[in-house]
Amino acid sequence: MQKEKKLEQNKREEPMSLLSRSLLTGFIGGILFGSLGMIMYYFNFSEVSPKSYVLRSWITEEWTEKWLGNIISILLIGILSVLIAMCYYGLLRKIYSLWAGVLFGIILWGLCFYLFQPIFPNIPELSQLTNHTIVSTICLFVIYGSFVGYSISYDYFDTKMREANG
């Protein structure tokens, strides 16, 4: 009994794989920056709420305007962010630069506010948004892209360095 307990104590948990850590980074980034986007909307830094994209575009029930709509929107953004992190992992993880994340964030902003705008009927066109909204949301997307991108790239290079050093 004592020997089994001792052996069990000596066991080490398998560390998470690089991909799973990247996906977790995406989920946490989505939750964090979705919440920050909600705060920006609340304090009128942005005319567009994150729930306008992920919830209000397709569901017009009254509950979506309340706190439950905010919570569900933030969780959905976290889930969508996992897909975004997977794209970054697949395409750009080997680029160890903060600028790759910044550029990634700007591209995401362009996709959301320009390319995908026709999909979201309740979002005003880019030309109808105020300068405050444009600048604030670009900054939010740049910080998000930097967080996700640099975290994934750093983790990739750190893992490679640990493997090389044994």
Q: Calculate Rg over the CA atoms of the chain.
A: 20
Give the pLDDT confidence score for residue 51 in this predicted structure.
Answer: 87
Give the pLDDT confidence score for residue 52 in this predicted structure.
Answer: 84
Tokens of residue 29, six digits: 């980034």
Instruction: Find out whether 142 and 100 touch, Cβ atoms under 8 Å.
Output: no
Instruction: Find out whether 147 and 36 touch, Cβ atoms under 8 Å.
Output: no
Tokens of residue 142, six digits: 């740049």
Of the pLDDT bands very low, low, confident and very high (cuts 50, 70, 90), residue 3 is low
Give the pLDDT confidence score for residue 63 in this predicted structure.
Answer: 81
- Rounded to two decimals, the pTM is 0.87
pLDDT tens digits along 118-148: 888 888 899 999 999 999 999 999 999 999 9
pLDDT tens digits along 61-96: 888 888 998 999 999 999 999 999 999 999 999 999
Q: Going by C-beta distance under 8 Å and a sequence separation of 6 or more, which residues neighbour residue 104? A: 88, 92, 145, 148, 149
pLDDT at 1 over 60: no
Looking at per-residue pLDDT, the higher value among 9 and 124 belongs to: 124
How far from the centroid of its chain's Cα atoms is residue 99's Cα?
A: 17
Q: Among positive and negative, which fits the CA dihedral 131, 136, 139, 141? A: negative
Angstrom distance (rounded) from CA 93 to CA 4: 42
CA distances in angstroms from 71 to 19, 33, 153, listed in the order given: 26, 13, 29
How far from the centroid of its chain's Cα atoms is residue 39's Cα?
A: 16
pLDDT tens digits along 34-56: 999 999 999 999 999 988 888 87
